[in-house]
C-alpha cells in the first residue's frame, strides 16, 4: 500500500509517460513536489513500484497497477467536480488531488456509474476503465450520459464531446452545440432531433453517441 506522497509520484510518472513516453530520472526528480524527492523515489524502487533502466524511470507491473488506480480516481473526480458540481477550473485540479487519495474502490465505482462511465477527463485525457465499466448497472440512470440515451422530452446541458473526427467537432461547434449549452430532446426516431433555443437540429446516432450531456 502506497502513501499519498508515493501515489503522487506514481501519478506523475504515468502522466509524463503519456506526454513523452520516456521518463528521465533527473527530470522526474525536478518535478516531484517534495523536498525529499530522491529519497521517496528510492523507496518506491525498493518496494518494487518503479525501476531504473539506464537513465529512465519505468513503472513495474505493481507500480503501473497502483498508478492506474490513482489516475482513474483523479480523473473521475475531475469529471464529478466539472460536470455535476460545476467547480471552477482553477480549483478543480487541487480538489481532485485530495479526492484521489481518499476514494475507495466502491465509491470510485459508484461515481463512475453516476457519471455514465466517462472515457476522458475534462482535459481530454483518458480515464482508465474499471470493472464497473464492463458490467454497468442498467438500473441506475447516470447523471451524465451520451445524448443518445436521453428520452424524448428530456432536458439536459452539454457536458463534453468525445470524437475522433475533427470535422465532426467543427460541425457541432459551428451549430453552436458546445459544452454548457442547454438542449431538449424532441424525438429519437428516425434521427435524434434536439431543441436548442429557437433552433431544432437533427443528429444521426453516431454523433449523438459522441455528445455527453448532464440531465437537468
| CATH code of the domain made up of 70-134 | 1.10.10.10
- Which residue positions in the chain have pLDDT lower than 50? 137
Q: How many CB atoms lie within 10 A of CB 74?
A: 24
**Per-residue model confidence (pLDDT) at position 69:** 94
* Interatomic CA distance for residues 184 and 154, integer angstroms: 6
Residue ranges matching CATH 1.10.10.10 in the chain: 4-65, 70-134
What pLDDT does residue 45 have? Answer: 93
Domain with CATH 2.30.30.90 in the chain: 144-215
Report the CATH fold assignment for 4-65. Answer: Arc Repressor Mutant, subunit A (1.10.10)
The alpha carbon torsion through 119, 121, 126, 130 (nearest 10 deg) reads: -50
Preceding peptide of 190 cis, ω within 30°: yes
pLDDT of res. 155: 92
Whole-model pTM: value is: 0.66
116-141 residue pLDDT tens: 888 888 888 899 998 888 766 455 56
Architecture per CATH, 144-215: Roll (2.30)
Amino acid at each position: 500500500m502506497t502513501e499519498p506522497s508515493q501515489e503522487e509520484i506514481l501519478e506523475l510518472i504515468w502522466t509524463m509517460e503519456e506526454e513523452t513516453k520516456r521518463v528521465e530520472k533527473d527530470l522526474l526528480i525536478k518535478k516531484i513536489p517534495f523536498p525529499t524527492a530522491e529519497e521517496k523515489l528510492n523507496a518506491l524502487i525498493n518496494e518494487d513500484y518503479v525501476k531504473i533502466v539506464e537513465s529512465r524511470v519505468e513503472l513495474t507491473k505493481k507500480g503501473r497497477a497502483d498508478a492506474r488506480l490513482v489516475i482513474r480516481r483523479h480523473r473521475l473526480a475531475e469529471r464529478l467536480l466539472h460536470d455535476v458540481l460545476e467547480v471552477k477550473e482553477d480549483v478543480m485540479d487541487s480538489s481532485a488531488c485530495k479526492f484521489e487519495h481518499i476514494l475507495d474502490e466502491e465509491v470510485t465505482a459508484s461515481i463512475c456509474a453516476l457519471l455514465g462511465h466517462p472515457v476522458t477527463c475534462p482535459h481530454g485525457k483518458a480515464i482508465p476503465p474499471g470493472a464497473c465499466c464492463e458490467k454497468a448497472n442498467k438500473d441506475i440512470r447516470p447523471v451524465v450520459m451520451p445524448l443518445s440515451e436521453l428520452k424524448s422530452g428530456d432536458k439536459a446541458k452539454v457536458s463534453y464531446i468525445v470524437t475522433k473526427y475533427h470535422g465532426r467537432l467543427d460541425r457541432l461547434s459551428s451549430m453552436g452545440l458546445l459544452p454548457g449549452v442547454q438542449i431538449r430532446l424532441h424525438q429519437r426516431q428516425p434521427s435524434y432531433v434536439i431543441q436548442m433555443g429557437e433552433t431544432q437540429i437533427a443528429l444521426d446516432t453516431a454523433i449523438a453517441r459522441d455528445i455527453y450531456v448532464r440531465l437537468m
